[in-house]
Amino acid sequence: METVLVIGAARSGIAVSKLLQKNGYHVILTDSNEVKEKMDLETLGIEVVDNGHPDWLLEKDYPFVVKNPGIPYRVPIVKHFQEAGVPIYTEIEIAYRFAPGFKYAAVTGTDGKTTVTTLLYEMLNAKEKALVAGNIGTPLSELALIHQEETFNVALELSNFQLLGIDTFRPKISVVTNLAPDHLDYMDSLEEYYQSKMLIYKNCNSQDWFIRNIDDENIVKYAQNIPCQVIDFSLTQEADLYKDDTFAYLKDKILFKLSDLKIVGDFNCGNAMMAACMAYKMGIDLETIQSVIRSFKGVEHRIEYVNTINGVRFYNDSKATNTHAACAALSAFDKNVILLCGGKDKHISFDDLKQYDHKIKHCFSFGQTKDHFKSIFTNQTSCQTMKDALNHAIEIMEEGDVILLSPACSSFDQFKNYEIRGEIFKDLVEEIAKRG
């Protein structure tokens, strides 16, 4: 029996450990922190080494190592195996190998991934039961563990961290939604980050499709030598996937009527077009696609309408963890935006936000980057916490204003993740609503 090392006992690490064990491997699962599920995992036959990575782990021979996608390659234990030439995979690759009946529509990019993946899943699932997994929340290995012998269409959201650890993974259709600076705290360079996104189609062939966003100059630059059929997408240019004032089209087919969209902004129209095209290529009929378009109200934490209080609309855009995503949110509003932003410093520039200064009634920034916005917006105040920022916003709000949480930063300085940040924001707004 071969022994495999799994580094990182987050949800995906536990899932892939169980999947490997089920398929005949002896699994050693290691984590720098305490593994609360240790006893249960050991009952299954999984060896758990927590509270650090002892040297003896480095002395064993492994056919491959699986690491949590969030663990950088520069971490000593990962770097050791990388330098030793041991293949290092993420759980996506393992799930792909052990669930041969899954057919994938895969989504990556800097922004819009979750909206495209969620809408795509709704379209796939409306026809027959489908699955949704990946960076959106559910590890693919978790689903492979349950449905290993079954056949499903899978809407799969992939981060570049996950893509760095694939070897044979092959989607039927894939897309890179856009490329903008992000994760420079993890990647060695911006070029490396952009190139990592293009791994999504590296194993595809002439029977597969890739949607190329030709409105994005970075995608045009980096999406080269594509081994599958290319569907060019544009909101403004002649392309295979395009729109006019009334409809979205895939070549000569009407995908949906633009007025049926309930999600705001041109970027969301583009997200819907990508999702519809992917669903169609996965075998979903146009009537089903159009029905889902009419009913889809958007994704939680992505320009999510929360409430209207005294004529002021509140929106939760906590998923905007980079400048480009925040720009997309700001582009959806005309004026009188009270912006709440800030968070963990990812060492990216906020200069792109300057173009929206004329829309910003006031910016209240918080967290590690609270002072980084002083040079960005004419009217800006630094606060310690998101709650402080919201309280300041309440003091100056007037009927017709929009209070928008769109951080342009990750949450990890003050929150466990962007979901918790968004939920806390919504709870605070509801408290304000109750006070009247």
User: At 336, is the secondary structure helix, strand, or coil?
Assistant: coil
pTM for the model stands at 0.79
Per-residue pLDDT of the chain (436 residues; tens, 9 = 90+): 999 999 999 999 999 999 999 999 999 999 999 999 999 999 999 999 999 999 999 999 999 999 999 899 999 999 999 999 999 999 999 999 999 999 999 999 988 898 999 999 999 999 999 999 999 889 999 999 999 999 999 999 999 999 999 999 999 999 999 998 765 555 567 888 899 999 999 999 999 999 999 999 999 999 999 999 999 999 999 999 999 999 999 999 999 999 999 887 888 999 999 999 999 999 999 999 999 999 898 888 988 889 999 999 999 999 999 998 899 899 989 899 999 999 998 888 999 999 999 999 999 999 999 999 999 999 999 999 999 999 999 999 999 999 999 999 999 999 999 999 999 999 999 999 998 7
Q: How far apart are the first and last CA of the chain?
A: 65
Question: What is the predicted pLDDT for the residue at 394?
Answer: 97
How would you label 252-287 residue by residue, b for 16+ Cβ within 10 Å and e otherwise? eeebbebebbebbbebbbbbbbbbbbbbbbbebeee
- pLDDT score recorded for residue 21: 98
Task: Confirm if 285 and 124 have CB atoms less than 8 A apart.
Answer: no
Could you give all domains of the chain from N- to C-terminal order, each with its CATH number?
Answer: 3-89 (3.40.50.720), 92-295 (3.40.1190.10), 304-435 (3.90.190.20)
Task: Concatenate the DSSP letters of all residues of 269-312 into one string.
Answer: HHHHHHHHHHHHHTT--HHHHHHHHHH----TTSSEEEEEETTE
pLDDT for the residue 183: 54
